[in-house]
A and B are shown apart, each in its own frame.
Chain A
């Protein structure tokens, strides 16, 4: 301890240059890998660039954004994105809390259980989306087969066909995939709660439900909100599930699918970049909420 302390003290007053030097590799990587593409995307969104002609471009001002605002397909994509986010995030949070509460109890094999629960989260989304697309297929999918054998339904449900049903399936798969992630975040929060409150509650023999609503939930509130914001940031960007599980019709596209389609399929780098930039601002807006929330929490 004696040895380390002076070093820490020295570092606190240490010169600025060495701080920047240590930060430099990280900053350079960030600028090259995130800053430059970001800048280019925003730059392209004000031009009429096409994919086969990125050099001879003209500035068109805010034309792209104006026509984006007038495009019905875009608003449909925005609506779809928010429907998916607004339904899936609360569902994942509720299920996540339940799973976290179960995992928080120590029982035989709880260590293995915690690892096993994480499996859906560890499978790459594109793989699990394909997997679910096969399982949901109405001709040879196992889900319909099981439902028919259990006599819940008579006729196979075409899960990924109609617009409404494919959004339902996307939400289902998204919930399946990200509940473990939420559970893990919430479990971490749950385990850092002060134990004395619980002991006091046990002494007073408070019923479990009341304990949950009056004690655990209020104490967990900051963690839950942070976790929900994280998830929402992710959910707004949803791409792979939609790409695989929907029929490719623009009526069930989300914002990122819309942007990709215009960027790549339609050749319109300018227009697609505008869509991507708007999506960026949506995400940035949520990010700002998160930061302001967490800094308020710090002040408290």
Chain B
């Protein structure tokens, strides 16, 4: 009997010590596989004591966003570690744990991060997120096709347009490719990626959505960049990009039916998989400027790892976060062309050997443009959906009829201003003292 009690006690002791952490992950590209490998490594290193459960997120990033909103507003403790897009950190900052509490000051090499990334990690003085990998919009091109048709690597958007149009017309002479081949694929489905693409092209045309602290979307540069997008859509692309997300456009490019593709770096290793039609034929360039001598662009993306404030195992979660985001893991992940967030890794010979295009990306990352998430704060998701809705509407309408870009942009300008204004307004009206719910009802009925 005593033995049994002792056994039960030991059993209880061990079983109570085993913690199951829950972490979210998207299934885009190799992400899930890589994460699982890293986690297995962590579990092994921590002595097989704890378990980690991976929650797979939806494909479209604004759906992940909605999911996080539901979890965090319900103060759910059934998720501990969340992967987040860089633009959301500000939105969720209040519900995230301060990671710096769990690390000693020199445990993480903060100064080695790119500046834009370092800024995104903090909310005020609290460090709420660590970067899993950086992301930057780039253009993939078919080096073999460019060589075949003796075309130069484009340096400006106009050159890209000309090259794409030329190759598209030549390729379409082949009856098999007649209806399939197109010059340039990007993503214009009404979702977050379209906001990214828009911010990026506006930046490369020398414009900006926010100027001197004010929304300024009806500027001339923005009109020009939209006109260019419409030209692309009509002449060197397929209409269905209006319903394309990243993976759809990768599908077209990977099966050899496009010359140029705008996408994130994650596609590199997938495109170069020996089983694809384009393996070894793809090269990468930064988002070109609109005119010669302009500055190359690229929108800052990247997924960060955060710990929920409502998690029951924050310290352990912070430990896993540190392991996931450490330099060693970022080096491993860079084999699959996920961009490291540390500057020093871009000088690492092995990393550069695996990904020769990192040299260009380092430059893009240095002058990467960010989405206006800081400006809109908590209302960013609403602002972003107004932006992608407006751009999608303009592009869609441009196919069916003539579209009045100026009017649409004015409307967008007004909407974005209201969003910004309503945020200030609600902050002002929100009572500083917490009033009870029932007091409020009493107040409402006047007793």
Residues of chain A at the chain B interface (Cβ within 8 Å): 48, 51-52, 54-59, 137-140, 148, 154-156, 158, 160-164, 246-251, 261, 264-267
B281 contacts partner chain A, Cβ-Cβ < 8 Å: no
Q: Which of B239, B240, B381 has a CB less than 8 Å from the CB of A267?
A: B381
Q: Which of A52, A138, A249 has a CB less than 8 Å from the CB of B69?
A: A52
Query: In chain A, what residue has the closest Cβ to B444?
Result: A59
4 nearest A-B residue pairs (beta carbon): A248-B190, A264-B66, A158-B239, A249-B190
Total cross-chain contacts (CB, 8 A) = 102
Indicate if the CB atoms of A162 and B66 lie closer than 8 Å.
no
Bound-complex Cα distance A118 to B263 (A): 42
Indicate if the CB atoms of B66 and A265 lie closer than 8 Å.
yes
Bound-complex Cα distance A248 to B188 (A): 10
Report B127-180 residues with CB < 8 Å from chain A CB.
179-180
0/1 string, B370-390, CB within 8 A of A gives 1: 000000001101100100010
Bound-complex Cα distance A100 to B19 (A): 57
Using C-beta atoms within 8 Å of the partner chain, give the interface range for chain B. Answer: 35 or more
- List the A side residues contacting B444 at CB < 8 Å: 59
Bound-complex Cα distance A200 to B180 (A): 61
Indicate if the CB atoms of A161 and B69 lie closer than 8 Å.
no
Residues of chain B at the chain A interface (Cβ within 8 Å): 62, 65-66, 69-70, 72-73, 94-95, 179-180, 188-191, 238-240, 242-243, 248, 251-252, 255, 257, 378-379, 381-382, 385, 389, 392-393, 396, 399-400, 426, 429-431, 434-435, 437, 440-441, 444
Interface of B is mostly: helix
- List the A side residues contacting B242 at CB < 8 Å: 158, 161-162, 247
Q: Which of A51, A59, A137, A162 has a CB less than 8 Å from the CB of B396?
A: A162
A/B interface sample: 9 pairs, CB < 8 A: A52-B378, A56-B434, A56-B440, A137-B248, A155-B179, A247-B396, A249-B393, A251-B393, A265-B382
Bound-complex Cα distance A44 to B258 (A): 49
Interface of A is mostly: loop
Indicate if the CB atoms of B62 and A251 lie closer than 8 Å.
no
Indicate if the CB atoms of B179 and A156 lie closer than 8 Å.
yes
Q: Output the least CB separation between B220 and chain A (Å).
A: 26
CB-CB under 8 A for A265 and B240, given A155-B179, A248-B190, A249-B396:
no
Bound-complex Cα distance A267 to B88 (A): 13
Q: Which of A55, A57, A148, A267 has a CB less than 8 Å from the CB of B382?
A: A267
- List the A side residues contacting B392 at CB < 8 Å: 247-249
Q: Which of B189, B238, B426 has a CB less than 8 Å from the CB of A139?
A: B238
Indicate if the CB atoms of A267 and B396 lie closer than 8 Å.
no
CB-CB under 8 A for A267 and B437, given A56-B431, A162-B399:
no
Bound-complex Cα distance A156 to B73 (A): 44
Q: Which of A56, A58, A139, A246 has a CB less than 8 Å from the CB of B252?
A: A139
CB-CB under 8 A for A55 and B437, given A161-B396, A264-B70:
yes
Bound-complex Cα distance A177 to B72 (A): 36
Query: In chain A, what residue has the closest Cβ to B426?
Result: A48
- List the B side residues contacting A55 at CB < 8 Å: 437
Q: Which of A54, A156, A160, A161 has the most CB of B within 10 A?
A: A161
Query: In chain B, what residue has the closest Cβ to A139?
Result: B252
Q: Which of A54, A148, A161, A264 has a CB less than 8 Å from the CB of B243?
A: A161
Q: A59-B440, A140-B255 are in contact. List 5 more A-B contacts (CB 8 A).
A: A52-B95, A139-B180, A161-B396, A162-B400, A264-B70
- List the B side residues contacting A155 at CB < 8 Å: 179
Indicate if the CB atoms of B243 and A160 lie closer than 8 Å.
yes
- List the B side residues contacting A156 at CB < 8 Å: 179
Query: In chain A, what residue has the closest Cβ to B382?
Result: A266
Indicate if the CB atoms of A265 and B62 lie closer than 8 Å.
yes
CB-CB under 8 A for A265 and B238, given A247-B243, A248-B189:
no
Q: Output the least CB separation between A45 and chain B (Å).
A: 15
- List the A side residues contacting B243 at CB < 8 Å: 158, 160-161, 246-247
Indicate if the CB atoms of A54 and B73 lie closer than 8 Å.
yes
CB-CB under 8 A for A139 and B396, given A247-B189, A248-B190:
no
- List the A side residues contacting B379 at CB < 8 Å: 267
Indicate if the CB atoms of A247 and B190 lie closer than 8 Å.
yes
Q: Which of B66, B257, B400 has the most CB of A within 10 A?
A: B66
Bound-complex Cα distance A158 to B242 (A): 9
Indicate if the CB atoms of A250 and B240 lie closer than 8 Å.
no
Query: In chain A, what residue has the closest Cβ to B384?
Result: A265
Q: Which of B65, B378, B381, B440 has a CB less than 8 Å from the CB of A58?
A: B440
Indicate if the CB atoms of A266 and B73 lie closer than 8 Å.
no
- List the A side residues contacting B180 at CB < 8 Å: 139
Q: Output the least CB separation between B257 and chain A (Å).
A: 7
- List the A side residues contacting B190 at CB < 8 Å: 247-250
Q: Which of B72, B189, B251, B435 has a CB less than 8 Å from the CB of A52?
A: B72
Indicate if the CB atoms of B385 and A265 lie closer than 8 Å.
yes
Q: Which of A54, A56, A138, A261 has a CB less than 8 Å from the CB of B239?
A: A138
Q: Output the least CB separation between A223 and chain B (Å).
A: 39
Indicate if the CB atoms of A265 and B381 lie closer than 8 Å.
yes
Query: In chain B, what residue has the closest Cβ to A263?
Result: B66
Query: In chain B, what residue has the closest Cβ to A46?
Result: B444
Q: Output the least CB separation between B116 and chain A (Å).
A: 26
Q: Output the least CB separation between B93 and chain A (Å).
A: 11
Query: In chain B, what residue has the closest Cβ to A137?
Result: B240
Bound-complex Cα distance A195 to B260 (A): 68
Indicate if the CB atoms of A251 and B69 lie closer than 8 Å.
no
Q: Which of A52, A156, A246 has the most CB of B within 10 A?
A: A52
CB-CB under 8 A for A249 and B66, given A52-B73, A57-B440, A161-B396:
no
Indicate if the CB atoms of A138 and B73 lie closer than 8 Å.
no
- List the A side residues contacting B440 at CB < 8 Å: 56-59
Q: Which of A59, A139, A154, A264 has a CB less than 8 Å from the CB of B257?
A: A139
Bound-complex Cα distance A154 to B178 (A): 10
Bound-complex Cα distance A266 to B437 (A): 23
Query: In chain A, what residue has the closest Cβ to B92?
Result: A52
Indicate if the CB atoms of B65 and A265 lie closer than 8 Å.
yes
Query: In chain A, what residue has the closest Cβ to B391?
Result: A249
- List the B side residues contacting A139 at CB < 8 Å: 180, 238, 240, 248, 251-252, 257
Q: Output the least CB separation between B7 and chain A (Å).
A: 42
Indicate if the CB atoms of B238 and A138 lie closer than 8 Å.
yes
Bound-complex Cα distance A100 to B337 (A): 57
